[in-house]
């Protein structure tokens, strides 16, 4: 299926479409643009640019139709550091972290975190790929698996949303679908750097690519998590410069549906992309498991 222009990422330069519902609570956005150089620009509030270290390189982003991804070679010292970003010290407040990841063969470790990978005891956000090749979230004492067997070379959209206090209040999504919950009751605050592709020491680095990393200081609802993944709406946050700011076409916070016709674009089977039986279908498609 040929994707229409409306489904493609606008070319650089662009800014935040603050009229988009996806901009709610946005405090950091690293869309991997403009490509080139050794700075990863925070296009959102502009407060936390990243420094690209080591052998990280810019590669074309084939998934989104335009733009670039940042690819990591798995060599220690290849990662992005944003410094001690206070915006990612959420304390006990709600938050949303989302990003796209594509892994290659070989060991992958840190994805998006504000912690030391080796210890994981510094009370920071912690998305990673473990020694069993699984995507997961570490809450300081246990891992909740999000994808048990990621396919090398395939893009996945991972999201974590903390929705208050108590047990199982961290909702974990893969490709727009909630697949697990975890208890994240820690007070998230430390002096570690916010990093992508490696930990705050430049170790435990990943092999693969990241793009479109977003951090919000609120809990985004399921309909918006789906919109960030859905090919029809995932670029609603992008506003090409030179164009008048206009209200989003998707302002109503509603689930736009999961038509089978877009299943291939979403990387899912037609059965997994439509109504009844969705949880079972998606779990089978993504080889998902629970906590361990």
Is 74 within the bounds of a domain? yes
pLDDT at 245: 54
DSSP sequence for 160-202: EEE-SSSTT-EEEEETTEEEEEE---S-B--SPPPEESS-TTS
pLDDT tens, residue order, the chain (292 aa): 344 444 566 777 788 999 999 999 999 999 988 888 999 999 888 778 999 999 999 998 877 766 789 999 989 999 999 999 888 999 999 999 999 999 987 666 899 999 888 788 889 999 999 877 899 999 999 999 999 999 999 999 999 999 998 889 999 999 999 999 999 999 999 999 999 999 888 888 999 999 999 999 999 999 999 999 999 999 999 988 765 555 554 444 433 444 333 333 333 333 333 222 223 333 333 333 333 3
User: Which pLDDT score is estimated for 118?
Assistant: 79
> What does the pLDDT read at residue 243?
58
User: Which is nearest to 136 in space by CA: 87, 176, 101?
Assistant: 101
| 180 found inside a domain | yes
Residue 113's CATH number: 2.60.120.200
Is residue 163 in some structural domain?
yes
**How many independent structural domains does the chain possess?**
1
CA angle 6, 10, 16 (to 5 degrees): 105
Q: What is the pLDDT of residue 47?
A: 78
Please indicate, yes or no, if residue 2 is contained in any of the structural domains: no
The structure's pTM equals 0.83
Structural domain that includes position 82: 19-286
Give the model's pLDDT for residue 119.
81
pLDDT at 11: 72
What are 211's two structure tokens? 């793009």
Q: How many CA atoms lie within 13 A of 196 on its CB side?
A: 37
Residue 158, domain member (yes or no): yes
Q: Is 72 inside any structural domain?
A: yes
Residue 110 pLDDT:
92
Structural domain contains residue 291:
no
Q: What is the pLDDT at residue 284?
A: 34
Q: Decide if 199 is inside a domain.
A: yes
The conformation of residue 225, written as its DSSP 8-state character, comes to: H
């Amino acid at each position: 299926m040929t994707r229409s222009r409306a489904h493609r990422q606008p070319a650089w330069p662009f800014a935040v479409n603050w009229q988009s519902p996806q901009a709610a609570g946005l405090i950091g956005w690293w869309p991997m643009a403009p490509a080139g150089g050794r700075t990863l620009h925070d296009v959102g509030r502009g407060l936390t640019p990243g420094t690209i270290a080591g052998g990280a390189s810019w590669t074309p982003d084939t998934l989104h139709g335009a733009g670039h991804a940042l690819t990591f070679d798995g060599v220690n010292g290849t990662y992005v550091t944003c410094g001690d970003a206070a915006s990612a010290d959420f304390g006990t407040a709600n938050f949303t972290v989302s990003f796209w990841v594509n892994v290659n063969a070989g060991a992958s470790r840190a994805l998006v975190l504000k912690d030391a990978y080796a210890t994981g005891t510094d009370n920071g956000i912690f998305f990673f790929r473990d020694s069993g090749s699984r995507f997961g979230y570490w809450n300081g004492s246990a891992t909740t698996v999000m994808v048990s067997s990621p396919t090398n070379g395939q893009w996945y959209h991972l999201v974590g949303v903390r929705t208050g206090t108590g047990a199982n209040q961290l909702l974990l999504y893969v490709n727009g679908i909630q697949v697990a919950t975890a208890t994240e009751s820690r007070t998230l605050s430390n002096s570690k750097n916010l990093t992508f592709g490696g930990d705050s020491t430049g170790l435990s680095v990943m092999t693969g690519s990241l793009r479109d990393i977003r951090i919000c200081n609120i809990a985004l609802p399921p309909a918006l998590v789906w919109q960030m993944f859905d090919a029809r709406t995932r670029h609603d946050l992008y506003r090409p410069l030179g164009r008048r700011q206009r209200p989003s076409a998707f302002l109503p916070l509603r689930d736009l549906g999961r038509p089978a016709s877009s299943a291939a674009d979403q990387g899912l089977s037609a059965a997994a992309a439509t109504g009844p039986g969705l949880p079972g279908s998606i779990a089978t498609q993504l080889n998902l498991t629970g906590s361990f």
